[in-house]
Amino acid sequence: MNPRERVLAAMELQQTDRTPRDFWAEDATLSQLLSYTGSTDTETLLRQMGVDIRHTTAGMPPERWVQGAYQNAWGERYRYEPTPWGPARSALPGALSTARSFSDLEQFRWPSVDELDFSDLSAQCEAWSDYAIVYGFADIWQRPGLVRGWEGMFLDMVDRPEWTHYLCRTFTRFFKEEYTRAAEISHGRIDLFLVLSDLGGQHGPLISRTMFREFVAPYLKEMADTIHSLGAKVLYHSCGNIRAFVPDLVDLGVDVLDPIQPTGPEMEPESLASEWGGRICFHGGIDVQHVLPHGTPEEVRAQVRRYCEVLGSRGGYILAPAHLFQPDIPPENILAVYADAP
């Protein structure tokens, strides 16, 4: 199998010649890894590690300096804090955190898909002809919460539900148009479109299933239907313990679930495989909180073997970390993820 065939088969829950591999990393982490390996560029490194997936998205308008903070086109606000590994983004209350009326939401200057830069997309798809391609960063609930401010968003869901629906609708409409545009420009070459919204904390869901079904599910269903109409699969990302939402995610049309963060017994691979193996493809799982930053390369390889054997023995698993590789993870442990993967 070539890399794309391998990923497509795994998403169809079919047996593959080996477990397909993905790679996500913070910029600072990638810089460290390139230096450690002596690789000349990211593509060289990915090929050396046998990574089967490539990621791309359109360029957004540049961020601006607003009221003592950086602000992106959506209205998220943040600072860049210095760390030993380079600057790290630290979230601040968003542009609509002080909204006092519904008209404040309506009058905000929302971005247009026409402002996106798709100029590299066709060339990337041609260069990655043998690889599976993931496109985008469509957030239908969490990013609206960052723009509104989490406290305001949670209060809105109870006291002003029409505010939350307006925000989620605005984001969903944008991303449906963006994904349709990307599919047209790439001539249908994109294999997976990413949809994300973090629904879980370390110990359980951030919201009830009732609120999920009102404020997240309708918009996720719209995104899933659009993506499927474009001939692609839905890669859905949520950190945390989201076991309670897995039945809904399957019913809503999610094809690949990421990152299956190992937050406790409910999110362990054996538990997920026993109930959902053969119904959804899993992506991720390699622990970025404990094993990768603090374990030995041998311990990393042992966890990789466990996930590949438990979740991928019959297809339906893509090897990847349980979040982007973070800067505190030793380069030798990142390489260990891919060194002897089954």
Residue 174: which CATH number? Answer: 3.20.20.210
pLDDT recorded at residue 82: 86
Can you tell me the distance from the alpha carbon of 15 to that of 27, in angstroms, rounded to the nearest whole number?
Answer: 33
The verdict on residue 75 lying in a domain is no
The verdict on residue 276 lying in a domain is yes
Kindly report the number of other CB atoms within 10 A of residue 290's CB atom: 11
pLDDT recorded at residue 117: 98
189: pLDDT confidence band, cut at 50, 70 and 90? very high
* Identity of the amino acid at 51: V
Q: What are phi and psi of 239, to 5 degrees?
A: -75, 170
Three-state DSSP state, 237? strand
Q: Does the structure show a pLDDT above 80 at 68?
A: yes
User: 113-125: per-residue pLDDT in tens?
Assistant: 999 999 999 999 9
Three-state DSSP state, 30? helix
Three-state DSSP state, 304? helix
Angle at 241 between CA 88 and CA 329, to 5 degrees: 40
Angle at 107 between CA 105 and CA 112, to 5 degrees: 95
Instruction: Give Cα 31 distance to the centre of its chain.
Output: 20
Number of domains in the chain: 1
Rounded mean pLDDT of 40-51? 96
The verdict on residue 76 lying in a domain is no
Can you tell me the distance from the alpha carbon of 138 to that of 141, in angstroms, rounded to the nearest whole number?
Answer: 9
Look up the pTM and report it: 0.96
The verdict on residue 73 lying in a domain is no
Question: What is the phi-psi region of residue 285: left when phi exceeds 0, alpha when psi lies from -120 to 50, beta otherwise?
Answer: left
Domain containing 227: what range? 3-62+96-339
The verdict on residue 90 lying in a domain is no
Can you tell me the distance from the alpha carbon of 188 to that of 215, in angstroms, rounded to the nearest whole number?
Answer: 30
Q: Does the structure show a pLDDT above 90 at 85?
A: no
Asked if residue 176 lies in contact with residue 223, where contact means CB atoms within 8 angstroms, the answer is: yes
The verdict on residue 67 lying in a domain is no
Q: H or E stretch including 210?
A: helix 209-215
Rounded mean pLDDT of 100-112? 97
The verdict on residue 78 lying in a domain is no
pLDDT recorded at residue 241: 97
87: pLDDT confidence band, cut at 50, 70 and 90? confident
